Amino acid sequence: ANQALSVLNIQSHNSFNSLVSQLLTQRKIPSKGWSDQLIEHFLHELSLMDSNNYQDRAGVGEREGRVLSSIVNRRHYYMAHGIGRSGDLFSIQPKAPGSSLILKLTCYMAKHAIKLAGIDKLDCLVLPLATGMALTMCLLSLKSSRPQGKYVIWSRIDQKTCLKCISSAGLIPIILETQLQGDSVITGDLESLLKTINPLEIVCILSTTSCFAPRSPDDVQRISELCKELNIPHVINNAYGLQCSKIMHMIKEALRLGRVDAIVQSTDKNFLVPVGGAIISSRDKKLLENINSSYPGRASMSPILDLFITFLTLGENGYVEILKNRKKLVVEFREKFADIGNKHGERLLDIRDNSISFALTCRNNDLGAKLFVRRVSGCRFVGDKEKEVCGFRFRSYGSSFDGYPNSYLTAACAIGLTSDEMNLFFSRLDQLLE
């Protein structure tokens, strides 16, 4: 029996160990994805490092990583300590070195993923908070170094979260109204607005890149140049922008020419994991350290574990491939959407720089609901409806522009969409438009 086990060291384990050691040395997404078997084996190895899994241990703290349910234990691979210590969210937890290692590696791999998506040398925090709360954390952190700061200048984008993340932080939003250019809703006159406010009272400007048509990504280059000039922090809400090379290029230019303090991305929208995580990336290590060290206490490790597993599953090749696939599909998506529109007397709106979300003029205000019943989710009908959010009233809510001239239906060609799904959508849409 002992002889047989020696085979293990010679054949299989060498190869497993060399994969692990590559990961630990290179600190990036492995070039080729790992099998589920190898990933789970690695997770078990790591979890054995956590003190709650030591043999013959005695835990006499008030929290000792005990897990009652075996279902819960299994689904977390016996890791129970979460991340963080009172001091710091990302420091090594001596009771849980395995979990801590996963957190570190996930941040490194996130950095690598963002490089693959187009921007190099961005440090990353992966937070177990979705985009909205991650933005709130950025704002709270920036505020702590802006003693007079109380305002956030917010380029209007009609998603509640984007406004609520400001008031959640106890700050006051100042709305930068958008402008219409052709069909596109674009960044408004920031220069004039800035002349009316004391820059020291501005915590930051919050711009948005990934957004629903007919809104275009904000002109982050221009914004960042103004921020640099006036010494105002700049946070970019890039929720699902990693999948779009055009957006990534715009942010790259903003970083090169102006001031960008933090860029916030969703993990679920970019990497196909369940909702619950965000990546804050920055060239300013101090800001990240500040967020890190001001986080009060511990946090769930679950969203980080999901991302860790997904990076290993995908591999560099896999991630590059799904980015390419979307790029290819977008061309087809746009064409077919326009064709079906034309067929039924509607028109695909021509939105500058938005290659994720598309909008088709539409007179039928219950089309979204009808599509949902036919198992098409994600379409939104937008007409001339007013809405109140955080005490502000917006007209044509959804379009990000008061009095947007068209009613329309949006649909997105986001990462992960399959060709089959797209065709299913178009055929159902086609039927309903008749």
- Paired with 280 in beta bridges are 125, 264
Q: Does 391 bind a second copy (CB under 8 A)?
A: no
Residue 431's contacts (CB-CB under 8 Å, 6 or more residues apart) are none
Residues 202-231 that bind a second copy (CB under 8 A): 210, 212
Residues 159-198 that bind a second copy (CB under 8 A): 159-161, 164-165, 167-170
Q: Does 132 bind a second copy (CB under 8 A)?
A: yes
* Identity of residue 417: L
Q: Does 414 bind a second copy (CB under 8 A)?
A: yes
Report CA-CA distances (Å) from 170 to 140, 153, 403. Answer: 8, 14, 30
How far apart (Å, rounded) are the C-alpha atoms in residues 91 and 303? Answer: 17
Q: Among residues 180, 257, 422, 433, which is the contact residue for a second copy, using CB under 8 A?
A: 422
In the bound complex, what is the minimum distance in angstroms from residue 388's beta carbon to a second copy?
11
Question: Quick one: CA torsion of 338, 340, 343, 345, rounded to 10 degrees?
Answer: -70
Q: By CB neighbour count within 10 A (0-12 exposed, 13-18 middle, 19+ buried), where does 109 fall?
A: buried
H or E element that contains 20: helix 12-26
Q: Does 330 bind a second copy (CB under 8 A)?
A: no
Residues 8-37 that bind a second copy (CB under 8 A): 8, 11-13, 15-16, 19, 24-25, 27, 36-37
Q: Does 399 bind a second copy (CB under 8 A)?
A: no
Q: Does 317 bind a second copy (CB under 8 A)?
A: no
Q: Provide the mask over 73-112, with x wherever binding to a second copy is found by CB under 8 A and - wherever it is not.
A: xxxx-xxxxxxx-xx----x-xx-xx-xx--xx-------
Of the ranges 172-180, 184-192, 268-276, 343-351, which one interacts with a second copy (CB under 8 A)? 268-276
- 214 cis-preceded (ω within 30 degrees of 0): yes
Q: Among residues 228, 327, 385, 428, which is the contact residue for a second copy, using CB under 8 A?
A: 428
In the bound complex, what is the minimum distance in angstroms from residue 38's beta carbon to a second copy?
8
* Identity of residue 377: S
Of the ranges 194-202, 216-224, 304-312, 346-354, which one interacts with a second copy (CB under 8 A)? 304-312
- Find, among 399, 358, 429, 330, the residue nearest to 177 by Cα: 399
The number of residues in the chain equals: 434
Q: Does 245 bind a second copy (CB under 8 A)?
A: no
